């Protein structure tokens, strides 16, 4: 984002989340666990050498079950990864500099003065842009903290591959894989010293929030059934099961 390119640009926001209709999981920061655990199944994914939490949004690839037919968000809490759009930080090659960027393909980006301007008449960032910058700075800080949490789990070897299966009313079995979950057995096997270390950094609370959130695979199942509700035949109660192996 620069005055050279965006001096006359504005961003008009609305309640449409069409831009994320094709994603079935989004990164989640550790600070979001208390609110997200009530509505989403929180799992972990490997990103290079890092382990990062993610909120499951769908069963099928390119399917977001947390959107309504008119592309509104159907949950009380919206992950920060979604709320930051159309803005994002881009890191330099040496990872020392972050640059505020905007997706110019977003339908709300315009030069007709609709919505919030990015720069004022004095070519200085508007209050809106400053707030966006602060939000992303906070997000980046939480991102680094969340990486440390993932590193703790990795060092303690607490994570194990998991598979969630959903059976539709028509008997079709769908699987959600490529995720990791904390093993209750491995957690129970930790000695007092390691448990105390987890508790000291609040990581233990995050672990239990993650385990608690796994029940929300039933919520994902229910949303899938709702998406399939166009069939006129009566539907039996489907089953959902999440298993950590």
Q: What residues have CB less than 8 Å from 111, skipping those under 6 apart?
A: 8, 9, 10
Kindly report, residue by residue over 43-53, the tens digit of the pLDDT.
999 888 889 99
For 198, the 3-state DSSP assignment is helix
Backbone phi and psi for residue 175, each to the nearest 5 degrees, phi listed first: -120, 140
Give the pLDDT band of residue 59 (cuts 50, 70, 90).
confident
Q: What residues have CB less than 8 Å from 137, skipping those under 6 apart?
A: none
- pLDDT number for residue 31: 97
Give the pLDDT band of residue 241 (cuts 50, 70, 90).
low
User: Is pLDDT at 156 greater than 90 in this prediction?
Assistant: yes
Kindly report, residue by residue over 73-92, the tens digit of the pLDDT.
999 999 999 999 999 998 88
User: Is pLDDT at 232 greater than 50 in this prediction?
Assistant: no
Count of alpha carbons within 13 angstroms of residue 205, beta-carbon side: 9
Rg (CA), the chain: 21
- pLDDT number for residue 235: 46
User: Is pLDDT at 115 greater than 80 in this prediction?
Assistant: yes
- Residue with token string 């989004």: 26
User: Is pLDDT at 157 greater than 90 in this prediction?
Assistant: yes
Q: What is the DSSP string of 72-140?
A: -B-SS---HHHHTTTEEEEE-TTS--EEEEE-TTSTTEESS--SEESB-TTSSBPHHHHHHHHHHHHHH
Give the pLDDT band of residue 230 (cuts 50, 70, 90).
very low
Mean pLDDT computed over every residue of the chain? 88
Q: What's the pTM?
A: 0.85
For 35, the 3-state DSSP assignment is helix
Rounded average pLDDT over 208-216: 95
Kindly report, residue by residue over 166-190, the tens digit of the pLDDT.
777 777 777 776 799 999 999 999 9
- Residue with token string 């919505």: 115
User: Is pLDDT at 242 greater than 70 in this prediction?
Assistant: no
């Amino acid at each position: 984002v620069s005055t050279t390119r965006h001096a006359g640009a504005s961003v008009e926001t609305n309640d449409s989340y069409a831009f994320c209709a094709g994603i079935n999981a989004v990164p989640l920061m550790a600070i979001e666990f208390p609110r997200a655990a009530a509505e989403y199944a929180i799992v972990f994914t490997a990103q290079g050498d890092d382990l990062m939490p993610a909120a499951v949004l769908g069963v099928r690839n390119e399917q977001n079950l947390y959107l309504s037919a008119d592309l509104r968000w159907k949950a009380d809490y919206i992950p920060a990864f979604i709320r930051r759009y159309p803005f994002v930080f881009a890191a330099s090659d040496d990872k020392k500099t972050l640059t505020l960027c905007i997706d110019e393909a977003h339908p709300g980006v315009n030069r007709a003065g609709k919505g919030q301007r990015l720069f004022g008449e004095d070519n200085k960032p508007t209050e809106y842009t400053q707030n966006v910058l602060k939000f992303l700075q906070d997000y980046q800080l939480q991102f680094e903290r969340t990486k440390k949490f993932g590193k703790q789990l990795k060092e303690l070897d607490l994570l194990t591959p998991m598979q969630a299966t959903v059976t539709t009313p028509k008997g079709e079995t769908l699987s959600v894989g490529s995720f990791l979950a904390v093993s209750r057995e491995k957690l129970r096997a930790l000695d007092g010293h390691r448990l105390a270390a987890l508790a000291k950094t609040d990581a233990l609370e995050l672990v239990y929030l993650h385990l608690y959130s796994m029940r929300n695979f039933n919520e994902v199942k229910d949303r899938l059934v709702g998406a399939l509700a166009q069939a006129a035949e009566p539907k039996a109660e489907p089953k959902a099961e999440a298993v950590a192996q």
